Amino acid sequence: MAGIALDRDGAIAIVRFDRPDKLNAMTLAMYDELGAVFAEVRDDDSIAVAILTGSGERAFCVGADLGESIPALSEGRFDISEWDAAHQKHTTLFKPVIAAINGLCLGGGFEIMLSTDIRIAADTAEFGLPESGVGVVPAGGTLTRLTRQIPYVWAMELMLQGDRISATQALRYGLLNEIVPAPRLLETAVELAHKLVAKSGTALATIKEAVLRLGDLPQDQAFHSEALYGQRAFTSPDASEGLSAFAKRRRPDFPSRHGLTPRPD
C-alpha cells in the first residue's frame, strides 16, 4: 500500500513519500506515518542522518490529497494540529534532515520541506504554495517558518500569490542550498549525508537543538542559553576524542557514533 517508505543506507535513513501515481499527495494516514517515521529516526541510535525525498521522477510531494483532507477539515472531522508531527512542529528530532527535492514541491510538500535542515533540488523541481487559490492557508508551519527563513517580501509573494517558482528562483530566495541535475539528486544527498555521519553526533544535535530553541529568545537570554549548550558540547566525550584526534593528526572516533549501522560495502 502506498504511504511513507523507510530504507537504510548504513547510518542514513532514506524516507520517501511513496505514492508516485498521485504525485506523492498525502493521505491522512500518510501524515500519521510520516510523523511516526520522524519519531523512529529520532529514537533509533543506529541512525545518524535522514534524507527525505519522493518516489518517482515527477514529484517530491504536492501536499495533502484534497479530495480527502479538505472535506475532513471543513466538516470538523479532523483537526489540523494532528499533522504537527509530520510537519515537525515542536520537534525533538535533532539529527540532520536533508530534503532531496525531485520534482513538484507544492502545498504541504513545501511546508514539510521547510522543516528540513539542508535542501538539495533537482534542476527540474518546482515550488509553490497554492493554498490561497482554493480558500485555505499554508498552516503546516509555513505561516510561522517562512518569514523566518527568507526575506519577508519573497515569503509574502509566495503565500499571497500562490504562483509556482523554479528551482533557480527558489535558490535565489534562499529556500535551497544547491541545485543538481535530476539524475544526480539522490546520489548528491547521500554523499552529503555520509559527510555528516563522520561529524560528531553530539555536536550536530547540539547545533540543531540550540538553533531551533534560541531563535525566539531575547538576545541576552539567548546568549546565556547558548553558553550552556556550548558547555555541554565542550565537556562531552566527543569533544575529548575530537581534540585528542586533532592533536595527534588522526581521524576522530566519536563515541556518539559507536552504535551506528555500518555502511554497506
Q: Are 45 and 92 in contact (CB under 8 A)?
A: no
Length of the chain as a residue count: 265
**CB burial readout 201-231, b (16+ within 10 A) else e:** bbbbbbbbbbebebeeeeeeeeeeeeeebee
82 is catalytic: no
State the amino acid at position 221 in one-letter form: Q
- Give me the catalytic one of 33, 57, 75, 111: 111
Displacement of CA 235 from its chain's centroid (Å) = 29
Q: Which residues contact residue 138 at a Cβ distance below 8 angstroms, ignoring those fewer than 6 apart?
A: 107, 110, 111, 129, 131, 146, 159
Q: What span, in angstroms and rounded, lies between the C-alpha atoms of 90 and 117?
A: 15
For residue 135, the tally of other CB atoms under 10 A from its CB is 8
* Residue 178 bears catalytic tag: no
Q: From the CB of residue 170, how many other CB atoms can be counted at a distance below 10 Å?
A: 26
Catalytic residue (one of 33, 126, 131, 241): 131
Catalytic residues: 111, 131
